[in-house]
Structure 1
Amino acid sequence: MDDILIRGGQVIDGTGAPARVADVAIRAGRIVAIEADRADSADRVIDAHGSVVAPGFIDIHTHSDFTLPLNPKAEAKIRQGVTTEVVGNCGFSVAPALPGKVDALREYLSGSAPWLTFEETDFARYMDRWPDIAVNTVMQVGHNTLRLMAMGMENRAPREAELRHMQDMLEEGLLAGALGLSSGLFTAPGSFSERDELRALGRVLKAHGARYSSHIRDESHAVHEAVAEAIDIGEHCGVHVQIAHMKLSGTDSWGQADRLLAAIDAARGRGVDVHGDQYPYDWATNPLRFLLPTWLHEGGVSATLERLADPYVRSRIRQKIAEVGFNNFGQIESWADIRIAISPRGAAEPGRTIEEIARERRCDPLDAVCDVIIADKGATRIVVRSMSEADVRAIAADPSALVGSDGPCVAPYGVTGQGKPHPRLYGTFPRLIGHYARDLGLLTLPQAIAKMTGGAAAALGLADRGLLREGQAADVVLFDPATIIDRSTYDDPHQYPAGIATVIVNGTIVIDGSEHTGALPGRLLRRRGAVLA
């Protein structure tokens, strides 16, 4: 007898192949059959007529390591159909946290993980203590975290012993089963590193069959050089490269999506194993302090706050913004395009723009920015409109561009329900399917699903997920192709999407009739060699 039998759905298997009507049988956490009119009985039969039956979606770029210990039901992601999350991105990881340096890591990540409890740990212990949650998790070691542990926030090349320390910490994480290394070269301390340092860490990845992902050094006026740098690490070291949240940020860079995609395609043509991912929105999000020049961050958050109080430093920042725009974001059209998302200490009201705050306080917009950062002790988070919709559509239409929310898993209730975070936390996957594929016709439905399932699994080296096939782990999502859509907005972000009826993780139903069952069947997936399982 099957545990679950899904009858009569439009099966889209994650390969890009067209839909076919079939029954899907699940037993002991695995898919045991995909066939028409299956005769076996089952403990639970789900009528899927009129629904699409697809592999569970893989969120290939997230920061849910900051929130899943607080929100193990994984509400915002599981309700999108996400069954696997890849965490530890952009160079930020919660481990390792060495003796005497826990407070430094807590302070550094305050703009992204203001409510998380940090404790002394190596990477293996961190993974072993990962809680029971609703979704599967894949972990990465963050380069910024390694650098912080080895040499603080110093703007220089590592000494030989410091580089060896970073390599040793990375190797410890890889031996524990981490997927690989992520970098965040757009901000300190990752921005202080040079290519030789990254190549040295890349050699450790190569030795373990591990992978490299990067929030590249610049996503605005130097985006193409930054993409070339990421590709160089993969090409030089012989490792897979994942270019995070591909975009053209800043008005001076708009209209260059074809050039960006062509560079990645050309690298593949010469044998580089490289992928990129995207969230389908023209607004980004980041800690507010990361919009400012990287030299401000040398020495840590306390030093940054002290500098921001200096009128001379503010004048230097103002001049830099006038010349080249915001760090990693480039020129934006208006101060109205920067909105407060979360202000943990109440320095500014979520949803208010910098333009509004400056007008109310009768001050210059940059002074408002600096004052808010100081009052929030560096922890303010914002959303910022920095991309063009035309570029977003061009990247979304590329069948090889994978899908990542670039966000933590939150919920409308509890500590993670605060503020007005980016809508992508609730809507990335249904938005791609419902808006960009169905409504705009940029992709076929099988192409859209392949980007977030089979394509992602191939990029990660996932051995038994991402496809609907006999023997694969039973991560499955059922949705109505006519009604699936995101409902989260910038003014009212804490809204679940529509059209997703059932989500199954490792053979256990987590979303049933669009409601959470409370089940926590997710697994921590570990890399062994080049395979993740």
Structure 2
Amino acid sequence: MFDGRGSAPVRADIAISGDRIVQVGVVDEKGREEIDAAGRIVTPGWVDIHTHYDGQITWDARVTPSSTLGATTVVTGNCGVGFAPVRPGDRDTLIRLMEGVEDIPGSALSEGMSWDWESFLEYMDAVERLPHDIDVAVQVPHGALRVYVMGDRGANRSAATDAENQQMRAYLRDAIRAGALGFTTTRTILHRTADGDYTPTFRAARAEMEAIAGGMADARGGVMQCVSDFYHMEEEFQLMRDLTRISGQPLTFSLIQAEAFPDQWRELLTRLEAAVADGYPIKAQVAGRPVGLMLGLQGSAHPFISRPSFIEILDKPLAEKVAIMRDPAFRAKLVAEKPLDGHPFINSLVGAYDKIYLIKGDVDYEPDPATSVGARAKAAGVNPEEIVYDALLADEGRAFLFFPMQNYHEGNLDNVRTMLTHPDTLSALSDGGAHVGAICDVSLPTFMLTHWCRDRSRGPLLDLAETIHAQTSETAEAVGLLDRGVIAPGYLADINVIDFDRLKLSVPYMVYDLPTGARRLMQDAEGYVATIKSGKVIYRDGQATGELPGRLVRGAQGAPDMMGA
């Protein structure tokens, strides 16, 4: 048993009564239900603090795929996007914002959400009315808040007036007092709406941000999460320091190795260390593997998607698309075509074949650059696009290629290891529920165990106990959920029983189970013997039991000794 605090594993019985752990050690009494965990590892359930299930949790009782991969608590509302507060006339604005920033089909969001809320408090009530398999906590997204207060002016990035700033301040104060876990914002040029516009919060003025931080100070609670490209490093990092000073509350920001600025992460860590030394409660959220795209005919990205001939067949059913692409004449025409202008990201893939990889059996998330499509093509003396073309047609068009877009500038994960093991970072950024047509990083907690603690051959492994700690009690504490993430008396009975030797991720695959039949990438894992949420077994060997003990977590939660346990 790993207690979630980073301690060495011990052999112990765990007794549960109701939703709590009541005894750890030698338990003589027989339970109504017992799980034999001999030869297995037992851990707290994963506490995933960076997800985007804001829409899904209003219509779906199962928070998949996070709940099928060992998570027992997820935090939504990240990156400043979400669906409350909202006026009826602004619903489509928030859908287009979420669709653009997080690649969640707008049609599914429009069809799936009941919109039986306007205020953030009403949104929380709507989430609470639907039982879930795991716990969910929600945060106030800056984009929705700004549009709610300012209307079209907010969506169009007009400067907020002093009165509007004070409205946002008061609204956030009341939302946190009612149970919102915190506030989130995005300030990066990379986040766009589905129409290609900057987000409503792009580089919001300092006065607005300080007023919002004041709302957290008024509420005496909450956490703040920020995304920034840090192009204006001095100004942006000073703003984060000032926001924590004004709010008196913790702040986290997303940290990756950006391909365009491969050394920026080092400067950010240096500034972070200085801020922490000065007493600022700031941490960086990091991902334990490349931010990687799954390129495929079923997805939203691959190198041919902006070619004129492919655009003509883009909306055809997969089988028909594959049949057309198997025609040698079509193949020759498509490969010879130049991409159309207006697709800068997709067109950048054409020059990135040295960073695109075939998936042979399992996904290798730390692939050797010598095995890239570009390297294979050079060795064989062929056009790399011919290799990509064949790969896209594999498995009747259901296959994917892997493109490690960020966190992989040097062709290995050594820099990621440095980020992960830094004392001021958090293991996060799974983006569960988001980027459903191209990215499937929701399996990060499982990957942390398999790759970093068992399988990595290209560098040192990480300690298993510390890795478990990093995605249980450490993430829980970072967002003020002190009642979980630890296996000890008084804590929530959120537990994974894992066959560590057998633990293995499958290759991501596409399903069409969102409202309107919209697509999303899914990923399974072998080796989760049981996942227990609040004392109920919710999954056995990857299969749902039908139990739905999850609830909406309203605000910060005290540690057991603070609750009289």
TM range (shorter): 0.7 to 0.9
Pick from 39, 42, 46: which aligns with 1:50?
Answer: 39
Deviation (angstroms), 1:494: 2.6
Tell me which residue corresponds to 2:439: 422
Deviation (angstroms), 1:510: 0.4
Deviation (angstroms), 1:92: 0.8
In the aligned structure 1, how far is the partner of 2:234 from the partner of 2:462? 25
Secondary structure at the counterpart of residue 11 of structure 2 = strand
Secondary structure at the counterpart of residue 69 of structure 2 = coil
Pick from 22, 27, 52: which aligns with 1:32?
Answer: 22
Tell me which residue corresponds to 1:126: 123
Deviation (angstroms), 1:209: 2.3
Tell me which residue corresponds to 1:167: 169
In the aligned structure 2, how far is the partner of 1:348 from the partner of 1:272? 53
Say yes or no: does 1:396 pair with 2:420. Answer: yes
What letter is aligned with 2:485?
G
RMSD of aligned alpha carbons: 3.6
- Kept in 1, the 8 Å contact 2:257–2:265? The answer is yes
Say yes or no: does 1:464 pair with 2:439. Answer: no
- Kept in 2, the 8 Å contact 1:202–1:212? The answer is no
In the aligned structure 2, how far is the partner of 1:337 from the partner of 1:403? 34
Once the two structures are overlaid, the 10-residue window that deviates more, 226-235 or 48-57, is 226-235
- Distance 1:402-1:209 versus aligned 2 partners, 3 A rule: same
What letter is aligned with 2:276?
R
Pick from 536, 554, 558: which aligns with 1:508?
Answer: 536
In the aligned structure 2, how far is the partner of 1:505 from the partner of 1:399? 29
Deviation (angstroms), 1:12: 0.7
Pick from 499, 505, 508: which aligns with 1:480?
Answer: 499
- Kept in 2, the 8 Å contact 1:30–1:471? The answer is yes
Q: Equivalences for 1:165-314 in 2 at 5 Å? A: 165-186=167-188, 187=191, 188-218=199-229, 226-244=236-254, 246-251=255-260, 253-283=261-291
What letter is aligned with 1:199?
E
Q: Equivalences for 1:371-390 in 2 at 5 Å? A: 385-388=405-408, 389-390=413-414
- Distance 1:386-1:223 versus aligned 2 partners, 3 A rule: farther
- Kept in 2, the 8 Å contact 1:84–1:136? The answer is yes
In the aligned structure 1, how far is the partner of 2:424 from the partner of 2:450? 19
- Distance 1:519-1:469 versus aligned 2 partners, 3 A rule: same
- Distance 1:192-1:261 versus aligned 2 partners, 3 A rule: closer
Tell me which residue corresponds to 2:8: 18
In the aligned structure 2, how far is the partner of 1:442 from the partner of 1:338? 38
Secondary structure at the counterpart of residue 232 of structure 1 = helix
- Kept in 2, the 8 Å contact 1:338–1:384? The answer is no
Deviation (angstroms), 1:267: 1.7
Q: TM-score, normalised by structure 2?
A: 0.71
In the aligned structure 2, how far is the partner of 1:20 from the partner of 1:348? 56
In the aligned structure 1, how far is the partner of 2:135 from the partner of 2:541? 21
Deviation (angstroms), 1:240: 0.7
In the aligned structure 2, how far is the partner of 1:368 from the partner of 1:347? 17
Percent sequence identity over aligned pairs: 25
In the aligned structure 1, how far is the partner of 2:346 from the partner of 2:267? 39
Tell me which residue corresponds to 1:143: 142
Deviation (angstroms), 1:109: 2.4
Deviation (angstroms), 1:224: 7.3
Once the two structures are overlaid, the 10-residue window that deviates more, 201-210 or 65-74, is 65-74
What letter is aligned with 2:69?
Q
Q: Equivalences for 1:482-497 in 2 at 5 Å? A: 482-489=501-508, 493-497=521-525
In the aligned structure 1, how far is the partner of 2:158 from the partner of 2:558? 33
Q: TM-score, normalised by structure 1?
A: 0.75
Question: 5+ residue gaps in structure 2?
Answer: 192-198, 295-300, 323-330, 348-401, 512-520
- Distance 1:503-1:335 versus aligned 2 partners, 3 A rule: closer
Question: 5+ residue gaps in structure 1?
Answer: 1-10, 287-333, 373-381, 411-415
In the aligned structure 2, how far is the partner of 1:282 from the partner of 1:338? 23
In the aligned structure 1, how far is the partner of 2:203 from the partner of 2:285? 25
Deviations 1:147-177 (A, max 9, x none): 1222232233201222222223323321320
